[in-house]
Chains A and B, each alone.
Chain A
Amino acid sequence: MKVALVGQPNSGKSTLFNAAAGYRSLTSNFAGTTVEYTLGQARIGGEVVDLIDLPGLYSLTPTSPVEEVSRDYLLGGDWDVVINVVDASQLARSLELTLELLDLEAPLVVCLNMMDEAVRKGMTIDTPALSRALGVPVIEAIGTRGRGINETFAAARQAVERGGPGRAYVYAAEVEDIIDELSDAVEPHLPRRAVPAVASRLTSGRRAPTLAPAPVNAPACAGGGCTGCGAAPVAGTGSQAKPPAGVFPVATTAVIDDEPEVASPNGQVQITNRQSSMAIRQSAIPAFPPARFRALQWVQSDPRKLRTEEPTLAPAVERAQAAIAARTHAPADAAVSRARHAACLGLFEETARLARPRADWREQVDRLAMHPIWGYAVLALVFTGFFRLIFDVGKLGEDRILSLFDLVIAALTRHMDAHSALFAGVKGAVLGTAGAVAIVLPYLLPFLVGLAILEDIGYLSRVGYLMDALMHRLGLHGTATLPVLIGYGCSVPAVMGTRILSTRRDRFIGAFLAIMVPCSARMTVIFALVGFYLGAGWALGIYALNLLIVAVTGHILARMWPEVSPGMLMEVPAYRVPGPRVVVLKTWWRLREFVLVAFPMLVGGSVLLSLIDFYGWQHGINAALGPLMSLLGLPHTVGLTLIFGVLRKELSLLMLMQALGTTHVATVMTTAQILIFTLFVTFYVPCVATLASMKRELGWRLTLAASGALLGLAVVVSVAARGLLRVL
């Protein structure tokens, strides 16, 4: 059995997934995209079940590439049952996705998650009534406490055996008539795909849906050999035959097949509604997704895209859109979504009651954390504390780990010929690993843990809210604050973080600004050179200058590539206590991604540099970089250190000391040279690990463009600084 977990963002889907599947799960990317899903296995009642955790989506009419990928997966039909995870405290809104999922007419279970949150909000939900109205099982759960999870999966198992509800939720008549006509019109054009999981269950007699009238007439059942579908022939004539007895009673008022069913003379149930006539016309394989679903999707689709994407059906769809618009005095998509919205509110009113919410501490926290003045003070405090913690923890670990690797090198020197190419290569590999481990464990780990906690608490969306106005000046939305701030820690997760932005433009500008911000490695260089030799004031001056340049660059990029997205529209979730399990898993996945992207580059690059050193190629490199060094007014021996800096930014500091032959840099370099060197290192090409992650998110073209632009910027800034310092 393959279970797809589908839910809106912040519905606690992943909590549920983790509680069921735990650590034995895999993240993968959908082919050709950076959109991730998680696969896992869970043991439910002695059976091993495949679980797929799809990225959160608000509706099946997508507006972002992430949602599009999730929807396409669902429509591909490679699953047996959908568990729709719903934030019970946001029931009214969440039901919109539920109704769309019902339109798929496939096995579905609704998991009302976060029941505790709903209770706190003063909500009471009549779950049985909701289940009756929807015609699918509805299970209450509290994912964070592991409650209701087994019940949900048991219901999913039953749903698979019973088959889909086979009926969709009916909206306002004015819309529904036209949808009916359209689905009849498009039905012959739909591809008859033998979709592996869902469609085969819909047709195989053994597991045919019992609540669905359609397959009763389908050839598989008509032969009379049907045993397992539960649609036992209704005995007797004349009586109003009920829909085939499912476990979940059918609220006929709300359901499409409310026309009376007539028992035929031979005892087989004959159903006279539109669906069944469709089923008769169909061959053994019904269309999946069903015609009605397709018709609804097309009616809601962007009129401009329709003509290019569905040229054959466009005229019929446009006629339907026009008919709906004429009846409802609104654009067709608005009319359909309004009808669905009204259905949700109706369902909500029937099945839930909302008492006055208890004023709790979280409202007080928001009063402070989102205050027009104090909100920013809290923001500054949270992030200073956050970075302080990371560096304090990081410093503790880094020295110890590096000295451990020094022992390894010392041991190698004793056992190997120190003057062989092999030794140089091995030493390079050890140093590369040391560097990678010394960054990852001490700095990145606490950083990722802290990030996952801030994210889980719900603070990051508040940051987005506070910073939106400011980020707009840089051509970005508040949501992009996070990647740019992460950039102060490490550029790699910052670039990965741009994935949350919805357009390619936003992702590019976000990544570009994030890598311009001095990461912790560059901070080491800034403080060890400028801070140490020239004073902390100068070091902070570099930070201020960097901030100014970032702002100007953002402004220019925003002009060059104008914004298309209409602005911020983001849910602000209630504060939550972070679940340790979720934090650990999130950290682990991000860490693993970093390791996969960055480690090979770091180790490989380190080996290469050792070999350069061994074969004495540095003279050639220094000579090649000579003109640049002359332009910047730096000693020519410094050239190679910049190459090391591409590998790892703080290596340029260590190599600078090696190249100059002294740890007292001030004795061989002037104040101006130290300043210029530091400025250049701050801005030029990102390190290899960053380049690798940029290539993953943006592709080579934009990565190279960004690197070239940064190199140019570094030269301009450094030369300008040189000129300025000479004047002074």
Chain B
Amino acid sequence: MFALSHKRMREIANFGTPMNLYEADDDAELRILMITGGWEVRRSFNQMGIQPGDHVRILRRAPFGGPLMIDNQGTRVAVGKQLAEQIHVEVVA
């Protein structure tokens, strides 16, 4: 009777807490809420033109915990797992 998918259960558990980019689903339009991690992390994202407020999309992910390839206004950027976890996103409705 509680046939909730794993994904749905995760959504319920994380309700109200932002998810990070690595956890987000592929191909969904995402809005960046916040980038955590110190000065260097912010700088490197800034250099790639990735900032809070931007809309991004995960195009594909490399296997074995490899990087994500994301699309940010036509620019494709490979983002390693550790860095992707510093980006907090929400799904754009």
Instruction: Give A residues with C-beta under 8 Å from B.
Output: 58-59, 61, 63, 89-90, 92-93, 96, 121, 123, 302-304, 331, 333-334, 337-338, 341-342, 344, 354, 357, 370, 372-373, 375, 461, 464-466, 468-470, 477-478, 566-574
Contact = CB atoms under 8 A, between A and B. Distances in A.
B42 A337 contact: yes
A517 B49 CA distance: 37
A468 B47 contact: no
6 contacts: A93-B49, A304-B39, A341-B51, A461-B78, A569-B45, A572-B78
Nearest to B64: A469
A372 B78 contact: no
Contact of A569 (B48, B52, B60, B61): B48
Contacts of B37: 566
Nearest to B41: A566
Contact of B47 (A59, A92, A303, A469): A59
B33 interface: no
B78 A469 contact: no
B62 A469 contact: yes
A465 B84 CA distance: 14
B29 to A, nearest CB: 15
Given A466-B62, A468-B78, A568 B44 contact: no
Contacts of B78: 461, 464-465, 468, 478, 568-572
A96 B83 contact: no
B91 interface: no
A505 to B, nearest CB: 15
A370 B69 contact: yes
B75 interface: yes
B16 interface: no
A302 B51 CA distance: 18
Interface in B79-93: 79-83, 86
A468 B75 contact: no
A242 B62 CA distance: 56
Nearest to B51: A341
B90 to A, nearest CB: 17
Contact of A61 (B43, B54, B76, B86): B43
Given A568-B80, A569-B79, A63 B63 contact: no
Interface residues of B, number: 39
Contact of A89 (B69, B74, B86): B74
Contacts of A566: 37, 40-41, 44, 80, 82-83, 86
A121 B48 contact: no
A669 B69 CA distance: 54
Highest count of chain A CB atoms <10 Å: which of B39, B40, B54: B39
B83 A58 contact: no
Contact of B49 (A89, A96, A357): A96
Contact of A303 (B39, B40, B64, B86): B39
A462 to B, nearest CB: 9
A569 B77 contact: yes
A333 B79 contact: no
A444 to B, nearest CB: 30
Interface string B17-59: 0000000000000000001010111111111110111100000
A331 B39 CA distance: 9
B80 A338 contact: no
Nearest to B39: A302
A468 B80 contact: yes
B78 to A, nearest CB: 5
Contacts of A341: 46, 49, 51, 53-54
Contacts of B83: 566-569
B7 to A, nearest CB: 20
Contacts of A569: 44-45, 48, 77-80, 83
A461 B76 CA distance: 11
B64 A571 contact: no
B63 A469 contact: yes
B67 to A, nearest CB: 5
Contact of A571 (B35, B75, B86): B75
Contacts of A304: 39
Nearest to A479: B78
Nearest to B52: A338
Contacts of B62: 370, 372, 375, 465-466, 468-469
Contact of A59 (B46, B74, B76, B86): B46
Highest count of chain B CB atoms <10 Å: which of A93, A372, A567, A571: A567
A469 B65 contact: yes
B47 A570 contact: no
A106 B74 CA distance: 30
Contacts of B65: 469
Contacts of B75: 90, 92-93, 571
Contacts of B42: 331, 333-334, 337
A328 to B, nearest CB: 11
A639 to B, nearest CB: 45
Given A63-B44, A96-B49, A478-B67, A570 B77 contact: yes
Contacts of A123: 74
A41 B72 CA distance: 37
B41 A337 contact: no
Contacts of B46: 59, 96, 334, 337, 341
A405 to B, nearest CB: 47
Nearest to A465: B78
Nearest to B44: A569
Contacts of A333: 39, 42-43
A211 B62 CA distance: 50
B49 A568 contact: no
B84 to A, nearest CB: 8
A567 B75 CA distance: 19
A166 to B, nearest CB: 26
Highest count of chain B CB atoms <10 Å: which of A370, A372, A568: A568
- 8 residue pairs, one from A and one from B, having the closest CB atoms: A567-B80, A93-B49, A568-B80, A469-B66, A58-B47, A469-B64, A567-B82, A572-B76
A571 B77 contact: yes
Contact of A63 (B43, B53, B61, B80): B43
Nearest to B49: A93
Highest count of chain A CB atoms <10 Å: which of B35, B51, B64, B86: B51
Nearest to A59: B47
B40 A465 contact: no
B4 to A, nearest CB: 28
Nearest to A337: B46
A381 to B, nearest CB: 18
Nearest to A574: B76
Contacts of B81: 567
Contact of A338 (B48, B51, B74): B51
